[in-house]
Each structure stands twice: as structure tokens, then as C-alpha cells.
Amino acid sequence: MLTQMTAAQSALISDLANDLRPTVAKIERSIPTTRGHYGRYGSLLSQLSNGNATNAAILLLALIEAGANPQGARDGFKTFC
């Protein structure tokens, strides 16, 4: 996982978070079928990253910044990626 980010990396994650915000809001409003929506976040991470763990880690940070349940997003990452 990333430990320190450059300004460019931080800007990328913020841009991704802005793009993901509507999807995250929809997930968070839905009835949770798994703890913290980890099933939906894991599926989303898997699809968007095409199975690439580095891409999934970047997307994970963007999901959390976009308002995703942090524990649910992390559990989804651990389970699916």
C-alpha cells in the first residue's frame, strides 16, 4: 500500500474520488448485505482494477476519500483483490 504520496498522486486520488462519489453515495444509501458493504466495494475494486493489486490500492484510497465506509472498503480490498 502507498505510504507517502506525491502531489500528483494525491491529485489523482482526489480526481478519482470525485468520479466515484455518486457510486459511493448509492452504495452507502443501499441496504447493507455485507458488513460495511464490503461485498459491493470488493466487487467494484475488482472490476475497476482489472485484478491489478496496485490499481486496486489506489482505488481503495479514492473510495475512502469519496465517503465509502473505510472498514467495508478495506475488507472488500482484502477479500477480492
Q: Spell out the domain ranges in the chain.
A: 7-80
CB–CB of 2/58 below 8 Å?
yes
pLDDT at residue 37, rounded to an integer? 97
For residue 50, the SS3 value is: coil
Mean pLDDT (10-residue bins), the chain, 81 residues: 78 97 98 96 96 94 98 97 85
pLDDT at residue 5, rounded to an integer? 83
pLDDT at residue 28, rounded to an integer? 98
pLDDT at residue 81, rounded to an integer? 85
> Whole-angstrom distance between the N-terminal and C-terminal Cα of the chain?
12
pLDDT at residue 74, rounded to an integer? 98
Contacts by 9-15, CB closer than 8 A, 24 or more apart:
12/58, 13/58, 13/61, 13/62, 13/65, 14/62, 14/65
